[in-house]
Chain A
Amino acid sequence: MSISTVAAADRLARLSTATGPAREALILAAFEDETASVREHAIRLATRYVEPQILGGLVADGVNAARRNGALAALERQGPYAVPYLAELLRSPDAELVMFALQILARVGDPKAAAGMLPLLRHGDPNVAQSAVEALGRLRSADAVPALLELLRGNLWLQLAAVTALGEIGDPAAAAPLLALVPDSFVAEQAVRSLQRLAAPESLDPLLSLLIRVHERPLRDAILEAVGVVLDLHPDPAAAAARFALESERDRGPEGVAAFLGELLRTFEAEAECLRELHGSAAAGAMVEREGLAQAAVAVILSGRVRSLYPLVLRRAGDSEAPWIEAQWHRHAQLGRPEIAALLSHRDPLVRRGILTAAVFESEDLANILARLEDPDTQVRAAACRALGRLGDGRAAPALIRQIREGTPEERAEAAAALGRLPIEALQELCLCLDPRAGDDTVVAALEAVRVAQASAFEADVLALARAPSAVIRLAALRAAAALPSTRAELALFRALGDRDECIQVEVLELLVERGGDRAGTTLTALLSAADSLRFRVIRALGRLRVAEAAPRLESLYREAALHERVEILRALAAIAPPGVADVLRTRLRSPEPEIRHVAASGLAEVAGPEDVPTLVAMAGDEDWAMRNEAARGLGRLGLPESRSTLLTLVRDVEPVVARTARGALAGLADGSGSAAA
């Protein structure tokens, strides 16, 4: 073993086991350790065991950067516990200390700290003033807005920080002053970003006007993105969009807005295509960054009636990566029937698929959509099935049933979903597809249509198919049966709990839970007698259904059950919450098995009453982080002020998960006291 690795392991062990006065010195010295994992552990321990005043002393030490960084990280992690001390530091004569205090307070995010920051906006040291601006922005302090607006006329750095902070705070009073900074100022782009965050309706007109006038990228991109957000949140953008449509018509040059938007969409499409080729399905994540701009471009094209670009928009409608196009189309696009018909027979199949996916059709469009079921492109045919489902006109049923029998797998699935949306009386011919001789794929698709339609008229067929030799058909039939309200359908599900295929048993259990009802509870409780591989799932199902009558049986089963079943029994009991459940859970907190203790603690966190606070406080001192985490969760759920001191200890927990849970709990205390100062 090497010297360095032995020493690092040793130092970690020494840190973890140190107690008493030596511990603090050891922790602080470890801030300077050469090994990152030792430094990280020291920060965790400092968060828990070193008081903010001591850590503040290290922050003030301008010479030792390693100790300073460790102390800053620990103070930030102490969060609410350190807030009173950090608020005091704001009055320190040491400008650097004040600056660090501002930065940590901003990251801790306690809004009560804002009052002490306001005077610092006029601090003589510009670094302190800038930190105060940034902190107030991060805390979203509305009280800071007047002073921040004044800073828009001051020092450039403070101006930039103030512009950003105003965007973070989100007060619409800032919209006009921010618009005044666009396009002719150094902070124009940031001002547009802040206007985007404000999303003030009154900024729509001026931003649309800027979109036409400003040709320089990236400012034009920023304006477009802002317009997209404002349009999205605007209660009635029609008037502003109509003015934009008129104004943009006059600007048809190569730098005009239509050319700009068209180029953007073409670029996005090409980029998406490249990414798909390079990364396959993982490309979706890579596109997210630019998606905001694409959405904005589409919103402007549709609301501003830039009709020449509609085909370009529709090419991506129906893409799983751009589901938002449909919503944009519904909100902004207004087309007459001849225009829709023209797009339905567009030469580009992607456009045909797009209009079938995005448009809202009426009965008069039926013939045009049915014609698309004969389209040479399978994606267009599948989209036509979807459109027929949305239209809901029963006259489409024969064509969709034909698609179920003869279509590709994608068309079959879409046709089944569409049939499910048609009036039930239109589905009579579907019985031809419910004959096992029609083939598994056809029968399964027809059963899916019955499920979506909840068509009781086919109940006899469904129940017969629930006993079919093919597991695929049985499963599809049982899914359809679960959607039917009758007792016979429910009995078929109960019978299927004994299906020879275990996958079907498990699925049926899920179906019964989703379906609910008293009989399901009784039947599942009866199944507890069978000690088979399904029983732990049955126990879980009883918990999810909150079957009160099952509680005594679950309690009596506990002693004889295997570990995985006992875990589920405790979870189920906590969900059912019968009288006395807290006693049961408290007893299990002393179990030698950690899994049982965890589940008991988790259950207690859910059901605890005020009388359980001492138990939760004791759990907060457990060696096992999962127990402390449940203690924080339980105390947070109760929200009682007497939990504050325990939660203030837990917010400094060495395990960050526990600290975060405790911080959330502390923020929700009944007396509103989020910090140690309260």
Chain B
Amino acid sequence: MTADEGECKLLSDVIQERFGLSFAGVRRDILLSRLRPRLTALRLPTLLDYYHFLRCHPDREAEFERLSCQLTNNETYFFREPHHFAIIAQHVVAALGDTLRTRPLRVLSAGCSSGEEPYSLAIALQDAGLELRGIRWEIDACDLNRDRIARAREGVYEGGSLRACDEEAVRRHFESQNGGRYRLRERYRKSVRFFEANLATPGGMIGSPPYDVVLCRNLLIYFDDAGFDRTIRLFARALAPGGWLFLGHSESLIDRSDEFVPTWLEGAMIYRKRLAEAAA
């Protein structure tokens, strides 16, 4: 695959326009390595051929679907950065107090991939005994890619997705299947609602706001400045006043948004949306 600078920019512009993902500068090599399988599959020899395919070919929409999967194909697994789930089960639930007697805790997992993150949260909330205290929850989860959403709904995983689970957790939460695969038990699967969404789409809303918590971890690192700001504004609109935003450990809102207040909890930086009067 040739890597002419102009061809790379044409492609990265298309990707940025479509998904809000930035592969400029040093990320160019990442982009090239992620595109390579698509060029091979389509038997297109150069990046320019692929660019023309994306712009002009009748099958371009289907190809964008496959490309989205390739571009954001970040490995994830159950109970990655589990302290976030503990913070939600303890601090967030405690802070919402009596309001959760009359309505469920509402969470959005944005960029949920094949479902490991929202399902981990569902398990953590169940394990925290919230049900016994009469607290209910609703977890919405979205991803750009249709295939990953389908896999998430199916709830079947390879052993690698369970690498942070001990034997007891695997036994309790999953049913073993043929071929070394595991199916998440029904009670967790039914507690998450999955839908397709492109966070880069300008304006609008996401899911069914308002949410108490938005989780969006290790996704914003791929966004350019404008895409990052746009997505944060989207989350601000989706969160209730005082709601919590959880980002990945290398993502930060410091000096980037006045709508959120950084808060240290259990050694993690969480961002709380300002209350309505404070923001006004």
* Interface residue ranges, A against B (CB under 8 Å): 1-5, 8-9, 34, 36-37, 503, 506-507, 510, 536, 540, 562-564, 567-568, 595, 598-599, 625-626, 629, 655, 657, 660-661
Contact = CB atoms under 8 A, between A and B. Distances in A.
Contact of A564 (B56, B232, B256): B56
Contact of A595 (B6, B55, B233): B55
B94 to A, nearest CB: 28
Interface string B1-33: 000011001100000000000000000000000
Given A4-B256, A5-B229, A5-B233, A562 B58 contact: yes
Most B CB contacts (10 A, CB to CB) among A5, A540, A564 go to A5
Given A2-B257, A37-B226, A564-B56, 16 more contacts: A1-B259, A4-B255, A4-B256, A4-B258, A5-B233, A5-B258, A8-B229, A9-B226, A34-B255, A37-B225, A510-B43, A598-B10, A625-B9, A626-B6, A657-B5, A657-B9
A540 B42 CA distance: 14
Nearest to B52: A567
B43 A2 contact: no
Contacts of A9: 226, 229
B52 A595 contact: yes
Contacts of A37: 225-226
Contacts of B190: none
Contact of B258 (A3, A34, A563, A595): A3
Nearest to A503: B43
A80 B6 CA distance: 21
Contacts of A3: 258
Contact of A2 (B49, B58, B258): B258
Given A1-B233, A2-B258, A5-B229, A595 B56 contact: yes
B53 interface: yes
B57 A506 contact: no
B210 to A, nearest CB: 17
Given A2-B259, A660-B5, A661-B6, A536 B43 contact: no
A536 B256 contact: no
Interface string B213-230: 000000000000110010
A530 to B, nearest CB: 16
B26 to A, nearest CB: 14
A398 to B, nearest CB: 36
Contacts of A625: 9
Contacts of B58: 562, 564
6 closest Cβ pairs, A-B complex: A2-B258, A564-B56, A37-B225, A563-B56, A564-B57, A5-B229
Interface string B237-280: 00000000000000000011111000000000000000000000
A151 B77 CA distance: 60
B192 to A, nearest CB: 30
Contacts of A5: 229, 232-233, 256-258
Contact of B57 (A8, A34, A536, A626): A536
Contacts of A34: 255
Nearest to A632: B6
A660 B9 CA distance: 13
A567 B256 CA distance: 42
Interface in B36-53: 43, 49, 52-53
Contacts of B53: 564
A95 B57 CA distance: 59
A3 B274 CA distance: 13
Nearest to B260: A2
A595 B60 CA distance: 14
Contacts of A8: 229
A269 B259 CA distance: 53
A1 B274 CA distance: 12
Contacts of B258: 2-5
A654 to B, nearest CB: 13
A2 B53 CA distance: 39
A629 B57 contact: no
B52 A4 contact: no
A8 B256 CA distance: 10
A564 B56 CA distance: 5
